Structures are given as C-alpha cells and as structure tokens.
Structure 1
Amino acid sequence: MGLLGTALRIGIDAILPPRCGGCGELTETTHAVCADCWAGLRFITTPQCACCGYPFEVDVSANIVDNAGDSANVLCGGCLQKKPAFDMARAALVYDDHSREYLLRFKHADRGDLTPLLVRWLYQAGKGIWDQADLIVPVPLHRRRLLKRRYNQSGLLAAKLSQMTGVPWDGLVLGRQRNTRSLGGLGPSSRKREVGGAFVVDEARAEKCNLAGARVVLVDDVLTTGATANACVRALKQSGIMHVSVITVARVVR
C-alpha cells in the first residue's frame, strides 16, 4: 500500500502539480506557500492581549504586573475599557493585502483546496486551547446566503480542525435566524446593531451535545470589530456554555 500510495501521489502531482496557495507558482509540496508569499504574511505571536489577542508592538507584559502579580495577563486598551463577550480570541495572521487574498479566494471563489493550509495556521494560533475544548462551532451563514455560496467557509475550517485536533464539531447547534446584510463598510456601532439577536442556539441539539458548562471554540475566517463573534458568544452562553474561545485565520489590526 505504501508503494501504491507513492505511485498515486506521483501521478496526481504530474497531472495537478502542487502550487502556492498565494500566487499559484509551483511548489515542492501540496498545501504550501512559496518563499515570496511567505515573506509577505504577518503572523501574530506574543506579545499580545491576554483576552482578544491584539498584538502589542512591544512586550509590555515584562513591565506590567496585574493585581494578582501575574505579568502575563495584560489586556489591551479596548479590553480594559469593555471586556468582550468571548473569554479569549486568537488569530493566526494580521488581516492585510497579503492575507486578504487568501481569504477572499477561500470565501468567494470556491477555493476549498485552501482549507488544509488555513487550518494549519488556525491550529497553531489555538495552541493551548484545543486540549481543553469540548466542541468546535463555526460561525453560521443564513440559509439564503448558504444556498447562494453553496458552502460555509467557517464550516470547512471547523470540520478540518476537528480531524486535526480530535475535538468534535457541530455546524447546526448555532444558527443565524436573520439574514443580516454584509458588514463590510459598516462602523463598529452599525455592525453591533446589525448582528444583534441574529444568532440562536438549537437547545435540543445543545442538550444532545451536553453543552451545559462546556468549553467551546468558535471558528471564523476574520475578526474585524468582534461584533459577529460577540453576538455568537452571547447566544452560546445564554444556553449554558461556560467558556468560549474565538479562533480566526486573520484579524484586523489598526
């Protein structure tokens, strides 16, 4: 079977050679990025806000100690002013011209083949979260938008993450009961109003998944102002879920 698998791989690569997920240039392995595209990606690492994951330009944690004497739990200005509904958020990349191209193709151009690449980045961004999670939940689409697009990009990510982490996923426990308009171009207040009350938990399914007191990971492609994530988290926590982490491929950094 090993020899057969190798032969099949060689045959497939000869017909459909592996290409860079960014520019489309030929690469040595599948689901890879060429050196030039890799250099343009801005990965988010520490130091970052302990809550929302916003990257700090300098390592402030070394100079700031909280009331408990812990220098690692440093929050950004936004989280200090008003804590989000979610307990933690992490993103793999800064959302900019380079990462935007990956996500636009993945989201709107039927590029489901980018899923393994994006999921590897998501997995790394969520290190330390997966081993405590009980369920992975994708941000849902309204049925009208799902019919138009034919797939939920967040669902593809959640399914592949489940395979990689061993954490089960469910794409039906959280639903979008109102077909909200696109949030592109809207300010934070308008985004919050648009998605307020748009999401609902299927209580029967939540009970079946035994989600009372559970720890859930909410998966999406981009974190912008956090309006959508917060609306989803409020619905999840109203159903008795204890802890919700948000993991996205990219996040906006201003």
Structure 2
Amino acid sequence: MPDQTAPTVARRMRAAFGACGAVMAGVARWTLDIALPTLCVSCRAPVAGEGVCAACWAKLSFIAPPFCERLGIPFVYDPGPGILSMAAIADPPAYHRARAAVRYDDVARSLVHGLKYQDRTDLAPPLGRWMARAGKDILDGADLIVPVPLHWRRGWSRRYNQSGALATVVGRLSRVPVNGQALKRVRSTQQQVGLSRTERARNVQGAFSVATERRADVQGRRIVLIDDVLTSGATVDACARALLRAKAANVDVLVFARVVEGAQNPI
C-alpha cells in the first residue's frame, strides 16, 4: 500500500508557508501604512483609505441627475427623463451624449492639473473610479473606449497621456476594451486655454483622424471617448466627428470634470 505520509506532510507545509506568507504580507502593509500614510489626492493631508479628505470632498461638486440627457449639464429642477437643454437643441454636438463626474471648480482644477502637468499618475485611479460611476449609463452597452490623443510631440514632452491613464482605469472597471491607437492627433495645436469658443473650434479643426488601417477597429462600434475636462466641447466634438467619419456607430463622451456656467432650464 503506498505511503500517504509524504504528500500529507507536503500539503501541511504548503499550508503553513501560505499562512506565514499572509501574516508577513499583512505586517508589511501595516508597517508601510505607518511609514507612508495614505494622503488626500488633492491637498495631501493624511486620510484613512484612498481618495480625498473630508474637507476636499465637501468642496467637490459631483454632477448627478437631473441633467440634460445630451450634454450632461445640471438642470435647476427635475423635468423628467430624456429632456434636453436649450444649449443642446440650439447647437447639438457631433457626439450623442456627454457625462462628467464633477464640475470644474477649484478642487477639480487642482486634481486635473496634478494629473496633467505634475506627473501625478496616482490621481488616475480615484478620478477614473468617479468617472466610471458617473458614466455608467453610457458605458453599459459600449463596445470600445477611446482616449483623446495627444500629438506625439506633446506626448513625448509630457511622457504620458492623462486621458489614456483615465481610460485605462475606466476600461478596467467597466470591462469595456480600451483602444489608444484608434484615434490620432495628426496636427499639433496650440493650448486651448485662453481661446474663445470660436477660436477653440478653429484650433482643433482637422486635428484628429482615424488611420485607414485602424478603421476596422472603429467601424460599427459604440464608442465612449475619454478626456479629462470638457470646456467648450470643441476637442471632443472634433474627435467625435473623426470617429463618425470612420463609420463608428455612436460616440458618447465621458470626462472627469466639465465647465458649468450655470444650471440650465429644461426645454
């Protein structure tokens, strides 16, 4: 009869080593938390867990219904589902719907600037989580996530694309595939900051394109376009037009923050 002692001892040893490893990992995490406490992603004050401290949380203006079904701009009262704002009717965008996690105020601005200009890639996970929650209705049923691209020169100097970092987080949480190569910025543009609405639209006109070899990635797909901030909407509108020219079935927009110049009256 075969000896069962050796396999039994081996199993017990593996279990003991596994338990020991778990304890050691817990001790390591506890030690790291003491040595390097988790910090608020905005003001860098110590916090329990991940995210923002209570003071910064209170200053963030999260966007929730009621809002314009097309532009995602908050309404002053709830008119019922599917209602559009005057802005959406008077000047409809190329994209179908836009959603944003927060209003672009002081705290949101500091978070965006940290991610965009200060190499704060640690901001992408919390911002991406808020975006995934805010954009659940447009992510449900989406086929593809596409980040707004940087021109290669700006990408080289910045070393990473903040929209791509956000898209990666949103894609992982929503389980929608991310394609960072489908859309290209084929023309370098000046910064949009300080430009009027008309100047912004002119600045990005013809700046984006889907390469011939990438058209199959886009054709017939329901796409969610990811960016950090929506101001006038000129950039995401130009991107949406390029994707629709490549025969995308639908383009929605999801951003972390959007400029809201005042709550809209529903039509």
Fold agreement, TM-score > 0.5: yes
1:252 alignment counterpart: 259
Question: Counterparts of 1:130-141 in structure 2 under 5 Å?
Answer: 130-141=139-150
CA–CA separation in structure 2 for the residues paired with 1:101 and 1:76: 29
Out of 30, 42, 46, the residue aligned to residue 26 of structure 1 is: 46
Q: 1:5 to 1:215 in 2, by over 3 A?
A: farther
Equivalent residues of 2:184, 2:208 under 8 A apart: yes
Q: Deviations over 1:169-218 (max 9, x none)?
A: 011110001110000011110000000000011231231x3x32110000
Q: Deviations over 1:101-139 (max 9, x none)?
A: 111111100000011110111011111222211111000
1:57 equivalenced with 2:76 (yes/no): yes
Paired residue type of 1:38: W
2:117 alignment counterpart: 108
Equivalent residues of 1:173, 1:203 under 8 A apart: no
Among all aligned residue pairs of Structure 1 and Structure 2, give the percentage whose two residues are the same amino acid.
44
Out of 161, 165, 171, the residue aligned to residue 152 of structure 1 is: 161
2:65 alignment counterpart: 46
CA–CA separation in structure 2 for the residues paired with 1:11 and 1:203: 53
1:118 equivalenced with 2:127 (yes/no): yes
* Contiguous gaps of at least 5 residues in structure 2: 1-20, 262-267
Out of 232, 239, 251, the residue aligned to residue 225 of structure 1 is: 232
Equivalent residues of 2:129, 2:169 under 8 A apart: no
2:18 alignment counterpart: none
Equivalent residues of 1:137, 1:216 under 8 A apart: yes
RMSD: 1.2
Equivalent residues of 1:172, 1:202 under 8 A apart: no
TM-score normalised by L of structure 1: 0.92
Equivalent residues of 1:22, 1:101 under 8 A apart: yes
TM-score normalised by L of structure 2: 0.87
Q: Give the structure with higher Rg (CA).
A: 2
1:127 equivalenced with 2:136 (yes/no): yes
| Consecutive aligned runs of 4 or more in structure 1 exceeding 3 Å deviation | 1-5
Q: Comparing both structures, which one devotes a greater share of its residues to helix?
A: 2
Give the drift of 1:225. Answer: 0.5
1:67 alignment counterpart: none
Query: What is the total number of aligned residue pairs between the two structures?
Result: 241
CA–CA separation in structure 2 for the residues paired with 1:162 and 1:145: 24
CA–CA separation in structure 2 for the residues paired with 1:104 and 1:134: 30
Give the drift of 1:4. Answer: 4.2
Paired residue type of 1:253: V
1:203 equivalenced with 2:212 (yes/no): yes
Paired residue type of 1:39: A
Out of 1, 6, 12, the residue aligned to residue 32 of structure 2 is: 12
